Amino acid sequence: MKIKHIMGALLCAGVVASAHAQSSVALYGLLDTGIDFANNVNGEHLWQMASGVSAGSRWGLRGKEDLGNGLRAVFDLESGFNSANGGLGSGLAFSRNAYVGLASETAGTVTFGRQWDPVVDLLEPYSLNSQYGGWYFSHPNDMDNLDNGFAISNAVKYTSPTIGGFVGEALYSFGGQAGQFSNDAAYSAAGSYTNGSFSAGVGYLRVNSPESAIQSYQSGDGFTNAVYGDYLAQARSQNIFVAGASYQVGSLKLMGNFSNVNFQQGDAGHDVKFQNYEIAGTYAATSQLYLGAGYTYTNGRNHATDQEPKYQQLNLSVEYEVSKRTALYALAALQKASGGAVAQIAGFNPSSDGKQAVGRVGIRHTF
C-alpha cells in the first residue's frame, strides 16, 4: 500500500511538473534615465532629468501556456513609468500593452486588448529612433507614431507566421459608441519582407476622431504641441502611410523611410498634411561601441491657410554597452524650422524661433 501511495505521489508530482514546464510567466523591464540640455525652450536654456527617451521605461509580465498541437495561449501586461519621479505612464496601470490571445505555429497569432499597431511593429525598425535615439529622434512630435507614442485600446490584431521572409499584420479597434460603429475606431495593416541583409516594409494606420480615440501627443498639462496639436484636436481622422527599408553591410546598417500623415479636416474643415523623409545609419565600431546618425526632412501643407511649414533635423548618437543589460549613451538632436513654423524637438516645448538643439547623456538597464 505504501509503495502505491508513493508511486501515486510521484506520478502527481510529475504531472504538476509537466504542467509547469508547458507554461511560463516572465517578469521583465527597462529603465532609461538621463540628463538633458536644450538651448531654446520658449527662449530659455533648460536642464532636466528625463525618463524613457532612448527607450520607454517600463515593467511587465509576459506569459504563455501550451495548449497542445502547436497552439498556445499568450498574454502581455506592460506598464510605462517615469523613472525620474516614479509616475505612471499616461496615468494608466498598463499604458503600453494589456492583451491576451492565441498563437499557432502555423496559423499565426490573434490578440485582444491594448497593443501596438502594425505600423509600430513592422515599420518602426526602419527608423533611427527605433535603434538608439528614441523620442528625441522621432519625426516632429512623433506625428506618424514611428516611436510608438501611443498604443491602441479595444483592439483585435492578427499576426501571420513568417512565410518565405514575409510577415503581415492587421488590426481593428472598436470605437464602442452605441449607434456609431466607426466613431473612435481605428484600423491598420502592414507587411514586411526580409531576405538576408535586406528588409523592407509598408503599412497604413487610420484613427477616427483621434483626440478622443487615442492618448496621442496633444497639447495639455502645460505642454504645447506647436507642430500639429491644434490639427489633431479638430481632425475627423488621422491617416498614416509609411514605407521603409534597411540594408546591412558588415557592421554598417543603412535605413530609410517615408511617411505621409493627413489630419483630415484638421483646420477649418480642410486637410493638413505632412511628409517625412528620413535617411539614417548605425555602425558597430566594436562589439560594445555603437554609433548612429540620421537626417529627417519634413514638409507640411495646411490647405486652409496654404502655409507650408518645414522641418530639418540632424540626429547623432553614441552608445557603449557596459554589459549585456546595461548601456551608457549620449545623443544630440538639432532642428531647423522654416515656412512660418517654430522648431520643436519631440519631448520639449517649442523654441522661440526656428532653431532648437538638444543634448543628452543617459543610462539604460534591462532586466
Which residue positions in the chain have pLDDT lower than 70? 1-21, 178-181, 215-222
Is 345 in contact with 48 (CB distance < 8 Å)? no
Please report whether residue 9 resides in a domain.
Answer: no
CATH code for the domain in which residue 213 is found: 2.40.160.10
Is 115 in contact with 155 (CB distance < 8 Å)? yes
Three-state secondary-structure class, residue 301: strand
- pTM for this structure? 0.90
pLDDT of residue 149: 87
Please report whether residue 312 resides in a domain.
Answer: yes
Please state, in angstroms and as integers, the Cα–Cα distance from residue 169 to each residue in 184, 258, 321, following that order: 21, 19, 33
Please report whether residue 14 resides in a domain.
Answer: no
Please state, in angstroms and as integers, the Cα–Cα distance from residue 125 to each residue in 11, 146, 155, 253, 286, following that order: 48, 9, 22, 11, 21
Full residue range of the structural domain in which residue 138 is found: 23-366
Please report whether residue 17 resides in a domain.
Answer: no
Query: What domain count does the chain have?
Result: 1
Please report whether residue 1 resides in a domain.
Answer: no
pLDDT of residue 258: 98
Please report whether residue 2 resides in a domain.
Answer: no
Is 203 in contact with 119 (CB distance < 8 Å)? yes
pLDDT of residue 10: 37
Please report whether residue 11 resides in a domain.
Answer: no
Is 50 in contact with 83 (CB distance < 8 Å)? no
The DSSP letter of residue 175 is -
Please report whether residue 335 resides in a domain.
Answer: yes
CA–CA gap between residue 170 and residue 158 (Å, rounded)? 5
Angle at 121 between CA 274 and CA 31, to 5 degrees: 100
